[in-house]
Amino acid sequence: MTQEPRIPGPPPIDYPIIAALHLPDLAVARHTSMAYLEDYTLANAAIFAAAQVPAMMLQDQTRQAGPATAATVAQMAALGRLLRKEFPAMQLGIIIQAHDAVSPLAIAHACGASFVRLKVFVGAAMTIEGPKSGLALEARSYRHDLRRDDIAILADIFDRTSVPMIQVEPEEAARAAVNLGADGLILTGASFDESLTRVHKARAIGISRPLFIGGSVTESNVAQALAAADGAVVSTSLMRAPSSANDILRWDRGKTQRFMDTVRALPVRQRPAP
């Protein structure tokens, strides 16, 4: 009897820091060429690579109603492939601004990224751009259709840039996200202290999937963050000051190096068994 080939599950999400590399908003910067985007992406990714950041997330910031456009998918896949070629030691993730379960996974599949981040995974949320509903079912189904269950899904739980439209505690929403296929969770409160509280509450109800804090993590509080959570997503705290969206180099080499030196000096924390 012929057996179907086994589809591998996602690899462990065991990197303590994910650096987010934000692209320009191409909806307003329509003159931006692909050559410029390549130079911008490589120059800033090199800052992360030099500091030995273990994982980087390429973040499209093009705001649009509905799913990502074909241009967004093509550009992100091409830039992602460039990053995989130039910086193979860093894990790569994909996030897009559009509310779309399919495009991030398709991009990751094409460029060799190991994870995607989805901002509204369960429930529903009101954002500054309007209401958005959970992407969990569509994302899980499409990932399986691609036969790429090895691409991990990091799911935000009530991201602080939106307001939940259902009355569910964040830890219960986190439990639902795990049940619907999330491989890791990003818990970000309105403040750093609230983020820590959300992490502790998720652990208290038995969630053992990797937990990340998605904002307000700095060199001065990263030890506290990683004592509670498995990892953190960082970006703004590592940026050059002053810098603007028109600068080709937006992240600071010295800040990034000092931040990662602090992380490497921390004791290794044992994560609960799944």
Question: How far is the C-alpha of 269 from the C-alpha of 107, rounded, in Å?
Answer: 32
Residues 6+ apart with CB under 8 A from 66: 98, 99, 100
Tokens matching residue 229: 């959570």
Residue 81 has pLDDT above 60, yes or no: yes
Question: How far is the C-alpha of 198 from the C-alpha of 170, rounded, in Å?
Answer: 7
Residue 180 has pLDDT above 80, yes or no: yes
Residue 28 has pLDDT above 90, yes or no: no
In the sheet with 162-164, reading across from the earlier edge strand, the strands are 130-133, 124-127, 162-164
Tokens matching residue 141: 């189904």
Smallest CA-to-CA distance from 118 within 72, 163, 62, 158 is with 158
Residue 6 has pLDDT above 60, yes or no: no
pLDDT tens digits, 127-163: 878 888 999 999 999 999 999 999 999 999 998 888 8
**pLDDT at residue 271, rounded to an integer:** 53
State pTM to two decimals.
0.91
**pLDDT at residue 243, rounded to an integer:** 77
ω into 242 cis (within 30 of 0): yes
Which residue's structure tokens are 């509310």? 99
The model's confidence at residue 17, banded by pLDDT at 50, 70 and 90, is: very high
pLDDT tens digits, 213-254: 999 999 999 999 999 999 999 999 999 988 777 789 999 999
Smallest CA-to-CA distance from 34 within 95, 81, 102 is with 81
**pLDDT at residue 274, rounded to an integer:** 47
Superfamily of domain 17-264: Aldolase class I (3.20.20.70)
**pLDDT at residue 65, rounded to an integer:** 78
